[in-house]
Structure 1
Amino acid sequence: MVFTNAQLTTIHHALTKGAVCLDDHLVQGVLVYVESIVISHGIERFDYLELSQLQNPCAYIRMRSLQPINFFNDCDEPDVERVCRDQNFKPITLQVCYPVYYPNADPEPEWQTYARYERAQVIEAINTMLSLLCDQQFTSCRRCQCYLPTGFMTNGKCRYCCVDQRRHREVNHR
């Protein structure tokens, strides 16, 4: 998948703001992959990605793998290689949190499996995750810059910033 410079800038910004939660099997490989793409495109940035930024437990996009992924070599172990070739075994799961609307209430989060991937499709899984970050269904809060689905936003602000603003107004009007 080819990303434009504008998309890569958005992706890098979203990742530095904790837009995803990756498990230990994926986090280092994703960090190296994203940084290498950003560097190869000459994208200007103010900071580098950190592992902790890719493991935000409050993120709205999660990706995990049931088995370790070796990003730099092929399968070395015969048992793992046999499992890798089983097309029914898809250890990599990409999940997205979507808003569910109820009458007279704030939207509630609901996790849905977006896609499952075989071990050999790890780059495709990463690219799908990155493309979600520059999709219009995700945006950043104007106040705190966190990335979340637009359905959880009110006037461009996340519900936490809206609650803080309401509290601020209540205190000032007393």
Structure 2
Amino acid sequence: MILTTKQLTQAYGVMLQGLVSLDDNLRQGVLVYIESLMLEQGIKREKYLSLDDLNGHYPYVCMGSYMPIDFFNVDSPCSMAACNDQSFKPISLKLCTVIQNEHKPVHRWHTVGTFRCDDIVGAIDALLETLSNDGFFKQCVTCNTIRPAGYLGHDQVCNCCSDELLGVA
């Protein structure tokens, strides 16, 4: 899967805002992979991702693995042995969607996908595709902060900016 510059930039922005949590088995490898994509596409940025950026305390996207993933030796015989069982999919990607229900947000977690350990690139691509999907994350037209889509009104203004505009403190 090849993301456009706009999609990759949005996914990167969601990660920088701490809306993503990756477990210890994935965090470092995913960071290296994503930073290499940014370099490959020549996307300039003011801030680079850190391991802390991928460990959000209130995430809307979580990705984890039941086992350590060796990003640098995925094709080695040892890691292939753990992946021989077609039904064993230790990597899971989950998304929290938000729906406004009478001025109160309702959060629902959904499994986006599960992946075999030898399909780590597919799992990361699914993560990036999820983060760059305007149906899940959008930019507020007032503050330019990327928020879960359910926190934006029909005018594409987030709750924080909307309250400010209305004078609600």
Q: TM (normalized to structure 1)? A: 0.82
Q: 2 CA distance for matches of 1:74 and 1:113? A: 24
Q: Map 1:1-174 onto structure 2 (within 5 A).
A: 1-74=1-74, 78=78, 81-100=80-99, 102=101, 104-137=102-135, 138-141=137-140, 142-143=142-143, 145-148=145-148, 150-154=149-153, 155-162=155-162, 165=164, 169-170=167-168
Q: Is the 8 A contact 1:60 1:96 kept in 2?
A: yes
Q: 1 CA distance for matches of 2:22 and 2:93? A: 9
Structure (1 or 2) with the larger CA radius of gyration:
1
Unaligned 5+ residue runs, structure 2?
none
Q: 2 CA distance for matches of 1:29 and 1:170? A: 43
3-state secondary structure, aligned to 1:107: strand
CA RMSD of superposed structures (Å): 2.4
Q: 1 CA distance for matches of 2:55 and 2:44? A: 23
Task: Count matched residues.
Answer: 166
Q: TM (normalized to structure 2)? A: 0.85
Q: 2 CA distance for matches of 1:7 and 1:26? A: 21
Q: 2 CA distance for matches of 1:120 and 1:170? A: 50
Unaligned 5+ residue runs, structure 1?
none
Measure how far apart 1:76 and its partner are.
5.9
Measure how far apart 1:100 and its partner are.
4.2
Q: Is the 8 A contact 2:80 2:118 kept in 1?
A: no
